[in-house]
Structure 1
Amino acid sequence: MNRLSADYSHRDSDWDRLVEIFEKTDAPEGCKTEIVEGIVTVAPLPSNAHNFIADCVQRPLYSVIPDDWGICQRLGVVVPSRDSLFVPDLVVIGIEVLRAEGGYTVPAEAAALIVEITSPTNARQDRTRKADVYCHAGVPLYLLIDGWDPAGPTITLYGEPKNGVYRVLRAGRFGDPVRLPDPFGLELATDEFPGRA
Protein backbone atom coordinates (compact mmCIF):
# COMPACT_ATOMS: atom_id res chain seq x y z
CA MET A 1 0.00 0.00 0.00
CA ASN A 2 1.32 3.46 -0.87
CA ARG A 3 1.57 5.47 2.37
CA LEU A 4 1.45 8.74 0.45
CA SER A 5 -2.22 8.14 -0.19
CA ALA A 6 -3.19 5.77 2.65
CA ASP A 7 -4.67 6.50 6.06
CA TYR A 8 -6.01 9.91 5.14
CA SER A 9 -9.73 10.00 5.78
CA HIS A 10 -10.65 13.60 5.01
CA ARG A 11 -9.86 15.80 2.03
CA ASP A 12 -8.33 12.89 0.09
CA SER A 13 -8.19 14.97 -3.07
CA ASP A 14 -6.21 17.75 -1.30
CA TRP A 15 -3.61 15.25 -0.08
CA ASP A 16 -3.48 13.63 -3.51
CA ARG A 17 -2.85 17.04 -5.12
CA LEU A 18 -0.06 17.77 -2.63
CA VAL A 19 1.54 14.41 -3.34
CA GLU A 20 1.29 15.03 -7.08
CA ILE A 21 3.03 18.42 -6.70
CA PHE A 22 5.65 16.82 -4.45
CA GLU A 23 6.33 14.02 -6.93
CA LYS A 24 6.59 16.45 -9.88
CA THR A 25 8.81 18.99 -8.14
CA ASP A 26 12.00 19.20 -10.18
CA ALA A 27 14.48 20.09 -7.45
CA PRO A 28 18.23 20.00 -8.09
CA GLU A 29 19.82 16.64 -7.33
CA GLY A 30 20.54 16.20 -3.63
CA CYS A 31 18.05 18.83 -2.48
CA LYS A 32 15.44 17.83 0.05
CA THR A 33 11.79 18.22 -0.95
CA GLU A 34 9.17 18.00 1.80
CA ILE A 35 5.50 18.74 2.43
CA VAL A 36 5.25 20.91 5.54
CA GLU A 37 1.65 21.25 6.68
CA GLY A 38 0.33 21.50 3.14
CA ILE A 39 3.20 23.47 1.56
CA VAL A 40 5.75 21.83 -0.73
CA THR A 41 9.25 23.07 0.19
CA VAL A 42 12.75 22.55 -1.25
CA ALA A 43 15.92 22.86 0.84
CA PRO A 44 19.52 22.92 -0.45
CA LEU A 45 22.16 20.25 0.16
CA PRO A 46 23.26 20.03 3.81
CA SER A 47 26.71 21.35 4.71
CA ASN A 48 29.64 19.12 5.57
CA ALA A 49 29.31 20.23 9.21
CA HIS A 50 25.65 19.15 9.12
CA ASN A 51 26.63 15.72 7.78
CA PHE A 52 29.41 15.43 10.38
CA ILE A 53 26.86 15.92 13.18
CA ALA A 54 24.59 13.28 11.62
CA ASP A 55 27.52 10.87 11.62
CA CYS A 56 28.38 11.70 15.26
CA VAL A 57 24.83 10.70 16.22
CA GLN A 58 24.48 7.70 13.92
CA ARG A 59 27.68 5.83 14.88
CA PRO A 60 26.96 5.40 18.62
CA LEU A 61 23.31 4.53 17.90
CA TYR A 62 24.46 1.44 15.99
CA SER A 63 26.08 0.14 19.17
CA VAL A 64 22.76 0.09 21.07
CA ILE A 65 20.00 -0.71 18.58
CA PRO A 66 18.81 -4.27 17.99
CA ASP A 67 19.79 -6.05 14.77
CA ASP A 68 16.24 -5.76 13.46
CA TRP A 69 16.34 -1.92 13.55
CA GLY A 70 17.94 0.39 11.05
CA ILE A 71 19.13 4.00 10.95
CA CYS A 72 18.14 5.81 7.78
CA GLN A 73 19.23 9.14 6.39
CA ARG A 74 16.86 10.87 3.98
CA LEU A 75 13.93 8.50 4.58
CA GLY A 76 10.54 10.10 3.91
CA VAL A 77 8.12 9.96 6.85
CA VAL A 78 4.48 10.85 6.30
CA VAL A 79 1.76 12.24 8.50
CA PRO A 80 -1.15 12.65 6.06
CA SER A 81 -3.53 13.85 8.78
CA ARG A 82 -1.22 16.86 9.18
CA ASP A 83 -0.60 17.33 5.44
CA SER A 84 3.08 16.55 6.01
CA LEU A 85 5.85 14.51 4.45
CA PHE A 86 9.24 15.13 6.03
CA VAL A 87 12.74 13.87 5.25
CA PRO A 88 14.51 13.86 8.66
CA ASP A 89 18.26 13.74 8.98
CA LEU A 90 18.05 10.39 10.81
CA VAL A 91 15.21 7.95 11.46
CA VAL A 92 15.60 4.91 13.70
CA ILE A 93 13.02 2.37 12.58
CA GLY A 94 12.34 -1.34 12.49
CA ILE A 95 13.70 -3.09 9.40
CA GLU A 96 10.37 -4.88 8.95
CA VAL A 97 8.69 -1.52 8.29
CA LEU A 98 11.18 -0.76 5.52
CA ARG A 99 10.56 -4.18 3.99
CA ALA A 100 6.77 -3.91 4.23
CA GLU A 101 6.35 -0.39 2.84
CA GLY A 102 6.61 0.16 -0.88
CA GLY A 103 7.80 3.40 -2.41
CA TYR A 104 9.92 6.01 -0.63
CA THR A 105 8.10 6.73 2.61
CA VAL A 106 7.04 5.17 5.90
CA PRO A 107 4.45 6.30 8.44
CA ALA A 108 6.06 8.65 10.98
CA GLU A 109 4.49 6.77 13.88
CA ALA A 110 6.64 3.72 13.00
CA ALA A 111 9.84 5.58 13.97
CA ALA A 112 11.45 4.97 17.36
CA LEU A 113 13.55 8.15 17.11
CA ILE A 114 13.67 11.04 14.65
CA VAL A 115 16.66 13.40 14.52
CA GLU A 116 16.58 16.81 12.85
CA ILE A 117 19.70 18.96 12.48
CA THR A 118 18.82 22.54 11.70
CA SER A 119 20.19 24.62 8.87
CA PRO A 120 19.54 28.30 8.13
CA THR A 121 16.68 27.42 5.79
CA ASN A 122 14.81 24.98 8.03
CA ALA A 123 15.59 25.89 11.65
CA ARG A 124 12.21 27.46 12.37
CA GLN A 125 10.29 24.54 10.86
CA ASP A 126 12.35 21.99 12.80
CA ARG A 127 11.76 23.84 16.10
CA THR A 128 8.03 24.32 15.75
CA ARG A 129 6.14 22.67 12.91
CA LYS A 130 8.06 19.41 12.80
CA ALA A 131 8.04 19.04 16.58
CA ASP A 132 4.27 19.53 16.53
CA VAL A 133 3.67 17.07 13.68
CA TYR A 134 5.99 14.40 15.10
CA CYS A 135 4.26 14.71 18.45
CA HIS A 136 0.81 14.36 16.91
CA ALA A 137 2.03 11.29 14.99
CA GLY A 138 3.15 9.73 18.28
CA VAL A 139 6.89 9.58 17.50
CA PRO A 140 8.27 8.58 20.93
CA LEU A 141 11.55 10.54 20.74
CA TYR A 142 12.48 13.62 18.72
CA LEU A 143 16.05 14.92 18.97
CA LEU A 144 16.51 18.50 17.73
CA ILE A 145 20.11 19.55 17.15
CA ASP A 146 19.94 23.30 16.61
CA GLY A 147 23.17 25.02 15.66
CA TRP A 148 21.17 28.06 14.52
CA ASP A 149 19.37 28.85 17.79
CA PRO A 150 19.67 32.63 18.33
CA ALA A 151 20.83 31.98 21.92
CA GLY A 152 23.59 29.64 20.75
CA PRO A 153 23.79 26.01 19.57
CA THR A 154 21.37 23.82 21.54
CA ILE A 155 20.20 20.24 21.75
CA THR A 156 16.67 19.36 22.80
CA LEU A 157 15.30 15.88 23.34
CA TYR A 158 11.52 15.67 23.22
CA GLY A 159 9.56 12.64 24.34
CA GLU A 160 6.46 11.25 26.02
CA PRO A 161 3.96 12.69 23.50
CA LYS A 162 0.59 13.16 25.16
CA ASN A 163 -2.47 15.13 24.04
CA GLY A 164 -0.49 16.74 21.24
CA VAL A 165 2.32 17.99 23.49
CA TYR A 166 5.86 16.71 23.88
CA ARG A 167 7.67 16.82 27.19
CA VAL A 168 11.21 18.22 27.06
CA LEU A 169 13.32 15.36 28.41
CA ARG A 170 16.65 17.15 28.07
CA ALA A 171 17.77 20.58 26.91
CA GLY A 172 21.36 21.70 26.75
CA ARG A 173 24.11 23.24 24.69
CA PHE A 174 26.59 21.73 22.28
CA GLY A 175 29.19 20.06 24.48
CA ASP A 176 26.62 18.79 27.02
CA PRO A 177 25.98 15.03 26.84
CA VAL A 178 22.43 13.96 26.00
CA ARG A 179 21.03 10.81 27.57
CA LEU A 180 18.70 8.94 25.22
CA PRO A 181 16.29 6.90 27.36
CA ASP A 182 15.23 3.30 26.78
CA PRO A 183 15.09 1.57 24.43
CA PHE A 184 18.44 3.22 23.62
CA GLY A 185 20.06 3.76 27.02
CA LEU A 186 22.79 5.82 25.40
CA GLU A 187 24.66 8.90 26.52
CA LEU A 188 25.34 10.85 23.35
CA ALA A 189 28.48 13.02 23.36
CA THR A 190 28.05 16.38 21.63
CA ASP A 191 31.40 18.03 22.35
CA GLU A 192 32.57 17.61 18.74
CA PHE A 193 29.47 19.17 17.19
CA PRO A 194 30.42 22.26 15.16
CA GLY A 195 28.14 25.27 15.54
CA ARG A 196 26.20 26.66 12.59
CA ALA A 197 26.02 23.32 10.78
Structure 2
Amino acid sequence: MTVMAEPTARTSQMTVEDFEEIAKAAGKLNDAVRFEFIDGRIGVKGVPDGDHNEIVGWLLEECVQSGNGLRPYTSDLGLEVGEYRNGRATPDLAFAPKRSFTGQGDWADPAPLAMVVEVTSYDSDTHRRDRQDKPVAYAAAGVPVYLLIDRDTCVLTAYSEPSSEGYRVTRTAKFGEKLVLPDPVGIGLDTEELKDYVR
Protein backbone atom coordinates (compact mmCIF):
# COMPACT_ATOMS: atom_id res chain seq x y z
CA MET A 1 0.00 0.00 0.00
CA THR A 2 1.24 3.48 -0.81
CA VAL A 3 0.09 6.60 0.99
CA MET A 4 0.65 9.94 -0.66
CA ALA A 5 0.47 13.24 1.19
CA GLU A 6 -0.13 16.13 -1.17
CA PRO A 7 0.04 19.80 -0.22
CA THR A 8 -3.11 21.86 -0.64
CA ALA A 9 -3.63 25.59 -0.99
CA ARG A 10 -4.35 25.77 2.75
CA THR A 11 -1.15 23.97 3.83
CA SER A 12 2.42 25.06 3.52
CA GLN A 13 4.85 23.07 1.40
CA MET A 14 6.74 20.43 3.35
CA THR A 15 10.47 21.01 3.38
CA VAL A 16 12.96 18.31 2.54
CA GLU A 17 14.35 18.65 6.07
CA ASP A 18 10.91 17.89 7.54
CA PHE A 19 10.60 14.89 5.24
CA GLU A 20 14.01 13.54 6.24
CA GLU A 21 13.10 13.78 9.95
CA ILE A 22 9.84 11.89 9.35
CA ALA A 23 11.57 9.23 7.24
CA LYS A 24 14.34 8.73 9.79
CA ALA A 25 11.92 8.48 12.74
CA ALA A 26 9.63 6.09 10.89
CA GLY A 27 12.58 3.92 9.85
CA LYS A 28 13.51 3.43 13.50
CA LEU A 29 9.98 2.27 14.29
CA ASN A 30 9.18 0.16 11.25
CA ASP A 31 11.49 -1.20 8.56
CA ALA A 32 8.55 -2.61 6.59
CA VAL A 33 8.05 0.63 4.65
CA ARG A 34 10.21 2.98 2.59
CA PHE A 35 9.56 6.69 2.32
CA GLU A 36 10.11 8.87 -0.75
CA PHE A 37 9.61 12.58 -1.40
CA ILE A 38 8.99 13.37 -5.06
CA ASP A 39 7.36 16.47 -6.49
CA GLY A 40 6.31 17.70 -3.06
CA ARG A 41 4.55 14.48 -2.03
CA ILE A 42 5.51 11.84 0.52
CA GLY A 43 5.23 8.31 -0.79
CA VAL A 44 5.22 5.23 1.41
CA LYS A 45 6.16 1.96 -0.27
CA GLY A 46 5.38 -1.31 1.49
CA VAL A 47 7.50 -4.43 1.66
CA PRO A 48 7.93 -6.03 -1.79
CA ASP A 49 6.23 -9.38 -2.42
CA GLY A 50 8.03 -12.59 -3.35
CA ASP A 51 7.69 -12.17 -7.13
CA HIS A 52 9.04 -8.61 -6.86
CA ASN A 53 12.10 -9.96 -5.03
CA GLU A 54 12.58 -12.73 -7.63
CA ILE A 55 12.61 -10.10 -10.41
CA VAL A 56 15.23 -8.05 -8.55
CA GLY A 57 17.28 -11.23 -8.01
CA TRP A 58 17.02 -12.11 -11.71
CA LEU A 59 18.27 -8.67 -12.75
CA LEU A 60 21.11 -8.80 -10.22
CA GLU A 61 22.30 -12.08 -11.75
CA GLU A 62 22.00 -10.79 -15.31
CA CYS A 63 23.98 -7.62 -14.61
CA VAL A 64 26.67 -9.18 -12.43
CA GLN A 65 27.25 -12.02 -14.93
CA SER A 66 27.64 -9.49 -17.74
CA GLY A 67 30.96 -8.35 -16.30
CA ASN A 68 30.25 -4.69 -17.12
CA GLY A 69 32.01 -3.60 -13.91
CA LEU A 70 28.99 -1.99 -12.29
CA ARG A 71 28.17 -2.73 -8.66
CA PRO A 72 24.54 -3.30 -7.66
CA TYR A 73 23.05 -1.26 -4.82
CA THR A 74 19.83 -2.42 -3.18
CA SER A 75 16.74 -0.55 -2.07
CA ASP A 76 18.56 0.73 1.01
CA LEU A 77 20.22 3.37 -1.19
CA GLY A 78 18.51 6.74 -0.76
CA LEU A 79 19.01 9.21 -3.61
CA GLU A 80 18.68 12.96 -3.97
CA VAL A 81 16.68 13.22 -7.19
CA GLY A 82 15.78 16.42 -8.94
CA GLU A 83 16.30 20.03 -8.13
CA TYR A 84 12.56 20.68 -8.07
CA ARG A 85 11.35 20.35 -4.48
CA ASN A 86 14.51 18.48 -3.47
CA GLY A 87 13.26 14.98 -4.25
CA ARG A 88 14.29 11.89 -2.35
CA ALA A 89 13.86 8.40 -3.83
CA THR A 90 14.74 4.83 -2.94
CA PRO A 91 14.92 2.76 -6.12
CA ASP A 92 14.44 -1.00 -6.02
CA LEU A 93 17.93 -1.42 -7.46
CA ALA A 94 20.72 0.82 -8.72
CA PHE A 95 24.02 0.28 -10.53
CA ALA A 96 27.17 2.40 -10.33
CA PRO A 97 30.94 1.91 -10.35
CA LYS A 98 32.38 0.36 -7.20
CA ARG A 99 32.79 2.69 -4.18
CA SER A 100 30.59 5.39 -5.72
CA PHE A 101 28.82 6.13 -2.46
CA THR A 102 31.66 5.93 0.05
CA GLY A 103 31.29 8.63 2.69
CA GLN A 104 27.85 9.79 1.56
CA GLY A 105 24.99 10.14 4.03
CA ASP A 106 21.43 8.84 4.03
CA TRP A 107 20.56 10.57 0.75
CA ALA A 108 23.31 10.19 -1.83
CA ASP A 109 24.21 12.26 -4.87
CA PRO A 110 23.00 10.30 -7.94
CA ALA A 111 25.84 11.54 -10.19
CA PRO A 112 27.81 8.24 -10.21
CA LEU A 113 24.80 6.14 -11.21
CA ALA A 114 24.65 4.23 -14.48
CA MET A 115 21.10 2.94 -13.97
CA VAL A 116 18.22 2.84 -11.51
CA VAL A 117 15.53 0.17 -11.57
CA GLU A 118 11.94 0.11 -10.40
CA VAL A 119 9.69 -2.95 -10.39
CA THR A 120 6.00 -2.06 -10.23
CA SER A 121 4.01 -3.04 -7.16
CA TYR A 122 0.40 -4.05 -6.97
CA ASP A 123 -0.74 -0.91 -5.18
CA SER A 124 -2.91 2.05 -6.06
CA ASP A 125 -0.08 4.51 -6.66
CA THR A 126 2.33 2.50 -8.80
CA HIS A 127 1.09 4.18 -12.00
CA ARG A 128 1.82 7.71 -10.85
CA ARG A 129 4.96 6.86 -8.88
CA ASP A 130 6.80 4.48 -11.24
CA ARG A 131 5.44 5.40 -14.68
CA GLN A 132 5.04 9.18 -14.35
CA ASP A 133 6.96 10.75 -11.46
CA LYS A 134 10.08 8.59 -11.37
CA PRO A 135 11.07 8.97 -15.06
CA VAL A 136 10.93 12.76 -14.70
CA ALA A 137 12.77 12.80 -11.35
CA TYR A 138 15.52 10.41 -12.42
CA ALA A 139 16.02 12.23 -15.73
CA ALA A 140 16.23 15.60 -13.98
CA ALA A 141 18.87 14.09 -11.68
CA GLY A 142 20.89 13.05 -14.75
CA VAL A 143 20.61 9.27 -14.24
CA PRO A 144 21.66 7.82 -17.63
CA VAL A 145 19.28 4.82 -17.65
CA TYR A 146 15.99 4.18 -15.86
CA LEU A 147 14.70 0.61 -16.23
CA LEU A 148 11.04 0.07 -15.41
CA ILE A 149 9.93 -3.54 -15.06
CA ASP A 150 6.16 -3.32 -15.29
CA ARG A 151 4.35 -6.38 -13.95
CA ASP A 152 0.90 -5.07 -14.93
CA THR A 153 1.71 -4.77 -18.63
CA CYS A 154 4.49 -7.43 -18.71
CA VAL A 155 6.78 -4.91 -20.41
CA LEU A 156 10.28 -3.65 -19.65
CA THR A 157 11.01 -0.04 -20.59
CA ALA A 158 14.55 1.32 -20.69
CA TYR A 159 14.60 5.12 -20.60
CA SER A 160 17.79 6.89 -21.69
CA GLU A 161 19.24 10.24 -22.74
CA PRO A 162 18.03 12.28 -19.74
CA SER A 163 17.04 15.94 -19.98
CA SER A 164 15.43 18.40 -17.59
CA GLU A 165 12.00 17.48 -18.98
CA GLY A 166 12.44 13.70 -18.92
CA TYR A 167 14.09 10.99 -20.96
CA ARG A 168 14.33 11.46 -24.73
CA VAL A 169 14.61 7.78 -25.74
CA THR A 170 12.72 4.66 -24.67
CA ARG A 171 13.24 1.03 -25.62
CA THR A 172 10.63 -1.56 -24.73
CA ALA A 173 10.35 -5.33 -24.71
CA LYS A 174 7.58 -7.67 -23.64
CA PHE A 175 8.40 -10.32 -21.06
CA GLY A 176 10.03 -13.13 -23.03
CA GLU A 177 11.73 -10.83 -25.56
CA LYS A 178 15.30 -9.59 -25.56
CA LEU A 179 16.13 -6.05 -24.45
CA VAL A 180 19.50 -4.35 -24.91
CA LEU A 181 20.13 -1.77 -22.20
CA PRO A 182 21.79 1.40 -23.49
CA ASP A 183 25.22 2.61 -22.42
CA PRO A 184 26.69 3.00 -19.86
CA VAL A 185 25.04 -0.31 -18.88
CA GLY A 186 25.36 -1.84 -22.34
CA ILE A 187 24.10 -5.38 -21.75
CA GLY A 188 21.43 -7.56 -23.30
CA LEU A 189 18.68 -9.10 -21.18
CA ASP A 190 16.89 -12.36 -21.90
CA THR A 191 13.56 -11.73 -20.17
CA GLU A 192 11.93 -15.16 -20.58
CA GLU A 193 12.17 -15.88 -16.83
CA LEU A 194 10.05 -12.83 -15.99
CA LYS A 195 6.95 -14.63 -17.27
CA ASP A 196 7.11 -16.74 -14.09
CA TYR A 197 6.73 -13.71 -11.80
CA VAL A 198 3.42 -12.14 -12.83
CA ARG A 199 -0.08 -12.75 -11.52
What TM-score bracket applies, with the shorter chain setting the length?
0.7 to 0.9
Pairs within 5 Å for 1:59-138: 59-63=61-65, 64-66=67-69, 69-74=70-75, 75-79=77-81, 81-82=83-84, 83-101=86-104, 103-121=105-123, 122-124=125-127, 125-138=129-142
**Contact 1:18–1:38 (CA<8 Å) still a contact in 2?**
no
Change (3 A) 1:62 1:128: same
Change (3 A) 1:187 1:104: same
**Contact 1:31–1:43 (CA<8 Å) still a contact in 2?**
yes
Matched residue type, 1:165: G
Q: Which residue of 2 aligns with 1:166?
A: 167
Q: Which residue of 2 aligns with 1:5?
A: none
Residue 154 of structure 1 pairs with residue 158 of structure 2: no
Alpha-carbon distance in 2 for matches of 1:56, 1:147: 14
Shift of 1:188: 0.6
Name the count of aligned residue pairs.
179
Change (3 A) 1:80 1:170: closer
Matched residue type, 1:114: V
Alpha-carbon distance in 2 for matches of 1:182, 1:80: 21
**Contact 1:35–1:85 (CA<8 Å) still a contact in 2?**
yes
Matched residue type, 2:41: I
Which structure 1 residue ranges, 4+ long, deviate > 4 Å from structure 2? none
Matched residue type, 2:98: I
Shift of 1:37: 2.0
Q: Which residue of 2 aligns with 1:18?
A: 19
Q: Which residue of 2 aligns with 1:142?
A: 146
Shift of 1:189: 1.2
Q: Which residue of 1 aligns with 2:56?
A: 54
Alpha-carbon distance in 2 for matches of 1:94, 1:105: 17
Match among 23, 28, 31 for residue 33 of structure 2: 31
Pairs within 5 Å for 1:174-189: 174-189=175-190
Shift of 1:186: 1.3
For structure 1, the 5+ residue unaligned runs are 1-12
Matched residue type, 1:88: P
Alpha-carbon distance in 2 for matches of 1:187, 1:113: 14
Shift of 1:80: 5.7
Shift of 1:33: 1.8
Shift of 1:195: 4.9
Shift of 1:115: 0.6
Q: TM-score, normalised by structure 1?
A: 0.81
Deviates more, 1:20-29 or 1:37-46: 20-29
Cα deviations by residue, 1:47-97 (Å, 9 ceiling, x for unpaired)? 11001111111112113222xx42011111112623321111110012332
Shift of 1:155: 0.8
Deviates more, 1:22-31 or 1:77-86: 22-31
SS of the residue corresponding to residue 16 of structure 2 reads helix
